[in-house]
């Protein structure tokens, strides 16, 4: 199978010029093959290659793009998050990115309402609302990555919102751009009159359809039955019964319309109360029937969530190291489980709910005794069992296969029979490891198939399975889609679910809103009975590091290069496109993709690993990029870095001395030669000097302590290269090393700095550049020195830069294979939070501190300790909601400052609005990156703590 992006043909030029004219800027219409292939993918198992990718800035530009595409007869698709599982966000026409520039949030009425744009993720929105004790109604499991645009487009729900707190029910109004370019704010006082004046046919047509449906008892009965459940199949024609004004009907038809009726530029929602207390338990039953029978009584106790796990789900969950005690040792046969959670805004009410649940337990006939827990760790393990199923099955699928995640809904009383029917279908069609899990309270379950879906026999098997699936779900009175949207996967079956009359109503809705049929054609309605079997993508194997990628896009919100070049998902899918082009013999495409990938894919990756923290299958795309850098390293570069490893003390001192020299030279004198050197020798070789860089640091060495040491201290070499910044009072800080030493001395802790410290490093500079030989040499030397200094692990080892702490941990992991005893390494921030803070005397605090966590502190789980120390510094600690990896990444921010500028732009804008006493982080290069971005001096948080305690 071949899906290759063709080069733009001459006849395309006028159309592309029209698109560029609509935006007024050429660089926001992307037609390079790498842009086409990188943006073509979403989380579904379909693939279409767009003709062009457009990056719109506002609703007016989307309207202009609609008009330009209409004049050329080109289809248009809108995409925000791309987490959609049913093929909603794909096109072979114009793909409009409405994520990047649509991120405004306005909290209204003290949090009771919120106005939000489509590019905002659910997690970001909830972070905004948390301070008001509120949250967004829909609660999809993909909340870290899915956007409000996608939630609106799919009428997404989730774990607990059911049919009462989804997008449809919580919507107050929206601003929609219609296919004609007309913009309607349905919340405006004159919205009804404006719709009637500007779109008279649409206005009359909607009212006529509403009357048609209301006057047909069979239609009314079908709609009421279908939408009593979760249901995202077809259009939301319940709006024809629920509303009388045309503008309100339109607004609620837009919900769940998957970009086929218009573009939602912003929406206003009523929020719901945020539960601050929760208690969770896992109930094990002998069978699906027994679990299903318990549902009504559990619902009556006020359970917020009831998540079903079938027998295979339990077997898979048992394989995990953190498997909950409830399933350890269980001899799973036909068992099933319900993950039950109670939620409340008060501890007292939660206790009442839990008591009701406890009282019910003896009457449920459980296989094992169950108990509810409010402990965060216990609850996390239970939810990991539920949410980890997708990770486990999708991540372990055979190389080159695709994971297809589906969802269906039936009346709750038919859930057990439906699950048994699904299991029979899996057996009949030999789909192995097809787990069933989902929202039992709603009769909504998910299941996963893994296969190639490419070869003729695979497609035939999938086609036959789908036909039987449709018969099963409709035969049980259910809906073929509950919350993932109709998309392409179920578009051919909408008529079968609703019948000819209501299907015709839906076709008329589409015609009224999009007469030319150019908005996302093939989605929701498709007359082709085999449409769901077309455009299925191949998951080309490229590297073991990333082959398990399911292209969901969870990684994208945390990627520092997401707004300038590629995201982790896009790096992976571009490599898959290169491999496909190689197999197809398209040498021109291979050459084009590989050429652009050097900068877009490799050089502008911060290799920060934040993608792994968000990835459901735990892929660190940075590891792949390091491997690619290793492959492109030449002999000269290897020799230079190997030599640096042997003489690291001289290198760090030399770097510091160089900064001392240039610190005394006016910036204009430095700038010209520096830029010339970058132009001649390469931007990936010569760093760009900038004004915020400090003078050099000082030697790390210290005399041996006269008393027995309590701790081995390894100050980071980055502090030798880069000297300290000014502290909160404007004076030059003594630096983190001296500050940490003073803090420890004040509580009687004796530090031992290894004698050879100036030649030691964690190895991260070599690792990030793919210089394996130098990395191994440096790590071996450093681990040996730390093992000797710590008396083979008797003493804890502390490092004062989070990225270096993480680097030492990796170095020790590599060495432990040949050692009987491990070394304990902690970051200085964690150490101070645990060992120093409890012993410090009372001291004054500054008013407000802006805190920047780092990618390393996040990956190591150190942000709680970072916040603890920060709260000892300031009365009010503010972590910007838009914080993320600064992408300084050692020297990456000096080699490619445009990367750091892009990565920090939103956080910097937020920081500019905060009146703070000081600014802090926990890693020197991150402090430099944030200083450059904000114009404010960032210090290590321990420097500020030491300053405050010294002043007492």
Quick one: pLDDT at residue 10?
47
Assess contact for 463 and 451: CB atoms under 8 A. Answer: no
130-144, 882-896, 902-916, range with the lowest pLDDT: 882-896
pLDDT at 655 over 80: no
Average confidence (pLDDT) over 94-105 = 95
Is residue 496 within a helix (H) or strand (E), and if so which, with residue range?
helix 494-498
Local confidence band at 400 (pLDDT 50, 70, 90 cut-offs): confident
Is residue 73 within a helix (H) or strand (E), and if so which, with residue range?
none
Closest alpha carbon to 791 in 719, 709, 701: 709
Q: In this structure, what token pair is assigned to residue 541?
A: 């194997």
pLDDT at 677 over 50: yes
The percent of residues above 70 in pLDDT, for the chain, comes to 93
Instruction: Enumerate the β-bridge partners of residue 921.
Output: 940
Residues 367, 332: Cα–Cα separation, whole Å: 11
Quick one: pLDDT at residue 671?
64
Average confidence (pLDDT) over 559-571 = 96
Three-class DSSP category at 173 = strand
Quick one: pLDDT at residue 397?
82
- Output phi, psi for 951, to 5 deg: -80, -10
Q: In this structure, what token pair is assigned to residue 283?
A: 């109930």
In angstroms, what CA-CA distances link 444 with 332, 383, 426? 23, 18, 18
Local confidence band at 656 (pLDDT 50, 70, 90 cut-offs): low
Give the strand pairing for 272-273 and 134-135.
Answer: antiparallel
Q: In this structure, what token pair is assigned to residue 121?
A: 């993720």
Residues 655, 110: Cα–Cα separation, whole Å: 52
Quick one: pLDDT at residue 316?
87
pLDDT at 297 over 90: yes
The per-residue pLDDT for range 407-452, each reduced to its tens digit, is 999 999 999 999 999 999 999 999 988 999 999 999 999 999 989 8
Average confidence (pLDDT) over 112-129 = 96
Three-class DSSP category at 803 = helix
Quick one: pLDDT at residue 5?
45
Category of 111 on φ-ψ map: left (φ > 0), alpha (ψ -120 to 50) or beta: left
Closest alpha carbon to 141 in 155, 160, 167: 160
Sheet with strand 277-285: strands edge to edge: 277-285, 336-344, 305-309, 436-439, 444-451, 402-409
Average pLDDT, the chain: 91
Residues 673, 426: Cα–Cα separation, whole Å: 67
Average confidence (pLDDT) over 85-106 = 95
The per-residue pLDDT for range 43-89, each reduced to its tens digit, is 999 999 999 999 999 999 999 999 999 998 999 999 999 999 999 99
Instruction: Enumerate the β-bridge partners of residue 438.
Output: 308, 445
Instruction: Provide DSSP, 16-46.
Output: HHHHHHHHT-GGGEE-SHHHHHHHS--SSSB
pLDDT at 161 over 70: yes
The per-residue pLDDT for range 492-533, each reduced to its tens digit, is 999 999 999 999 999 999 999 999 999 999 999 999 999 999
Residues 378, 833: Cα–Cα separation, whole Å: 24
Residues 464, 621: Cα–Cα separation, whole Å: 37
pLDDT at 765 over 90: no
pLDDT at 230 over 80: yes
Assess contact for 495 and 52: CB atoms under 8 A. Answer: no
Average confidence (pLDDT) over 902-923 = 96
Residues 765, 744: Cα–Cα separation, whole Å: 29
pLDDT at 727 over 80: no
Three-class DSSP category at 357 = helix
Quick one: pLDDT at residue 165?
95
Instruction: Write the secondary structure of 754-767 as one string of H (helix), E (strand) and C (coil).
Output: CCCHHHCCCCHHHH
Sign of CA dihedral 50, 53, 57, 60: negative
pLDDT at 821 over 70: no
- Output phi, psi for 861, to 5 deg: 75, 30
Closest alpha carbon to 114 in 232, 267, 326, 246: 267
pLDDT at 679 over 70: no
Residue predicted with more confidence, 230 or 650: 230
Residues 200, 189: Cα–Cα separation, whole Å: 18
Residues 19, 710: Cα–Cα separation, whole Å: 67
Assess contact for 740 and 753: CB atoms under 8 A. Answer: no
What is the rounded end-to-end Cα distance, in angstroms, of the chain? 72
Local confidence band at 681 (pLDDT 50, 70, 90 cut-offs): low
Quick one: pLDDT at residue 388?
77
Assess contact for 626 and 768: CB atoms under 8 A. Answer: yes
pTM (global) more than 0.75: yes
Local confidence band at 730 (pLDDT 50, 70, 90 cut-offs): low
- Output phi, psi for 147, to 5 deg: -105, 165
Local confidence band at 694 (pLDDT 50, 70, 90 cut-offs): confident
Instruction: Write the secondary structure of 861-898 as one string of H (helix), E (strand) and C (coil).
Output: CCHHHHHHHHHHHEEEEECCCCCCCCCCCCCHHHHCHH
The per-residue pLDDT for range 532-544, each reduced to its tens digit, is 999 999 888 999 8
Residues 365, 354: Cα–Cα separation, whole Å: 18
Quick one: pLDDT at residue 392?
76
Residues 698, 554: Cα–Cα separation, whole Å: 42
């Amino acid at each position: 199978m071949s899906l290759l992006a063709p080069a733009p043909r001459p006849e395309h030029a006028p159309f592309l010029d029209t698109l560029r004219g609509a935006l007024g800027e050429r660089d926001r219409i992307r037609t390079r093959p790498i842009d086409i292939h990188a943006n073509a993918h979403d989380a579904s198992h379909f693939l279409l290659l767009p003709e062009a990718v457009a990056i719109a800035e506002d609703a007016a530009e989307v309207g202009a793009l609609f008009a330009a595409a209409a004049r050329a007869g080109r289809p248009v698709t809108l995409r925000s998050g791309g987490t959609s599982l049913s093929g909603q966000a794909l096109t072979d026409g114009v793909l409009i990115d409405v994520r990047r520039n649509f991120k405004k949030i306005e909290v209204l009425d003290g949090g009771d309402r919120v106005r939000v744009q489509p590019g905002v993720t659910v997690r970001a929105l909830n972070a905004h609302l948390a301070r008001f004790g509120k949250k967004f109604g829909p609660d999809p499991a993909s909340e870290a990555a899915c956007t409000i645009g996608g939630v609106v487009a799919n009428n997404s729900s989730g774990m607990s919102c059911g049919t009462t707190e989804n997008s449809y029910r919580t919507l107050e109004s929206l601003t929609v751009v219609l296919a004609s370019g007309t913009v309607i704010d349905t919340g405006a006082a004159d919205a009804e009159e404006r719709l009637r004046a500007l779109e008279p046919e649409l206005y009359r047509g909607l009212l006529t359809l509403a009357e048609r449906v209301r006057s047909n008892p069979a239609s009314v009965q079908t709609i009421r039955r279908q939408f009593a459940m979760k249901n995202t199949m077809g259009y939301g024609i319940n709006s024809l019964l629920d509303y009388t004004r045309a503008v309100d009907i339109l607004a609620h038809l837009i919900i769940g319309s998957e970009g086929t009726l218009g573009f939602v530029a912003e929406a206003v929602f009523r929020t719901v109360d945020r539960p601050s207390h929760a208690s969770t338990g896992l109930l094990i039953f002998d069978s699906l029937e027994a679990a299903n029978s318990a549902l009504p009584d559990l619902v009556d106790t006020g359970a917020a969530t009831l998540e079903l796990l079938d027998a295979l789900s339990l077997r898979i969950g048992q394989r995990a190291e953190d498997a909950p005690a409830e399933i350890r040792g269980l001899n799973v046969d036909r068992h099933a489980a319900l993950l039950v959670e109670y939620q409340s805004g008060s501890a007292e009410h939660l206790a009442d709910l839990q008591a009701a649940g406890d009282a019910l337990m003896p009457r449920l006939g459980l296989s094992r005794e169950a108990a509810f827990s409010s402990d965060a760790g216990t609850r996390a393990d239970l939810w990991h069992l539920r949410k980890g199923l997708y990770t486990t099955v999708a991540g372990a699928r055979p190389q080159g296969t695709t994971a297809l995640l589906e969802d269906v809904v039936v009346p709750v009383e038919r859930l057990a029979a439906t699950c048994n029917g699904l299991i029979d279908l899996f057996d009949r069609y030999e789909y192995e490891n097809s787990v069933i899990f989902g929202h039992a309270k709603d009769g909504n379950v998910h299941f996963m198939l893994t296969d190639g879906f490419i070869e003729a026999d695979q497609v035939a098997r999938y086609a036959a399975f789908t036909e039987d699936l449709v018969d099963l779900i409709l035969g049980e009175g259910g809906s073929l889609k509950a919350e993932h949207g109709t998309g392409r996967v179920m578009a051919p079956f909408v008529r079968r679910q609703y019948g000819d009359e209501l299907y015709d109503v839906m076709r008329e809705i589409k015609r009224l809103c999009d007469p030319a049929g150019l908005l996302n054609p093939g989605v929701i309605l498709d007359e082709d009975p085999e449409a769901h079997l077309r455009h299925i993508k191949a998951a080309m194997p490229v590297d073991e590091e990333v082959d398990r990628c399911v292209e969901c896009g969870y990684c994208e919100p945390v990627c520092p290069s997401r707004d300038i070049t590629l995201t982790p998902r896009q790096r992976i899918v571009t490599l898959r496109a290169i491999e496909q082009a190689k197999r197809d013999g398209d040498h021109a495409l291979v050459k084009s993709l590989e050429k652009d990938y050097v900068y877009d894919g490799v050089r502008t990756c911060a290799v920060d690993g934040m993608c792994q923290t968000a990835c459901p299958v735990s892929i660190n795309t940075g590891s792949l990029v390091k491997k690619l850098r290793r492959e492109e390293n030449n002999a000269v570069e290897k020799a230079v870095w190997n030599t640096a490893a042997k003489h690291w003390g001289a290198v760090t001192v030399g770097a510091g001395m160089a900064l001392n020299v240039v610190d005394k030279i006016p910036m204009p004198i430095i700038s010209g030669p520096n830029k010339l050197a970058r132009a001649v020798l390469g931007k990936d070789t010569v760093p760009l000097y900038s004004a915020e860089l400090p003078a050099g640091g000082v030697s790390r060495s210290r005399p041996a302590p006269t008393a027995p040491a309590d701790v081995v201290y390894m100050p980071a070499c980055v502090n030798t290269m880069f000297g300290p910044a000014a502290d909160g009072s404007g004076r030059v800080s003594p630096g983190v090393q001296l500050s940490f030493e003073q803090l420890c001395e004040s509580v009687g802790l004796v530090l031992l700095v290894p004698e050879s410290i100036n030649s030691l490093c964690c190895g991260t500079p070599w690792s990030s550049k793919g210089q394996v030989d130098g990395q191994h040499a440096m790590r071996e030397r450093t681990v040996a020195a730390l093992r000797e200094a710590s008396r083979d692990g008797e003493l804890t080892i502390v490092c004062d830069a989070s990225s270096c702490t993480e680097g030492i941990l990796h170095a020790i992991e590599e060495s432990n294979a040949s050692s009987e005893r491990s070394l304990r390494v902690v970051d200085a921030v964690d150490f101070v939070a645990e060992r120093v803070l409890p012993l410090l005397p009372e001291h004054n605090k500054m008013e407000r501190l802006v805190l920047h966590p780092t990618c390393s502190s996040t990956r190591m789980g150190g942000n709680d300790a970072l916040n603890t120390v920060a709260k000892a510094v300031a009365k009010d600690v503010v972590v910007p909601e838009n914080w993320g990896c600064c992408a300084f990444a050692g020297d990456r921010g000096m080699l490619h400052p445009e990367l750091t500028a892009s990565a920090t732009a939103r956080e910097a804008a937020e920081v500019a609005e905060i009146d703070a006493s000081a600014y802090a982080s926990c890693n020197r290069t991150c402090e430099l990156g944030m200083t450059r971005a904000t114009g404010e001096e960032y210090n290590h948080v321990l420097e500020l703590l030491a300053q405050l305690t010294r002043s007492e």
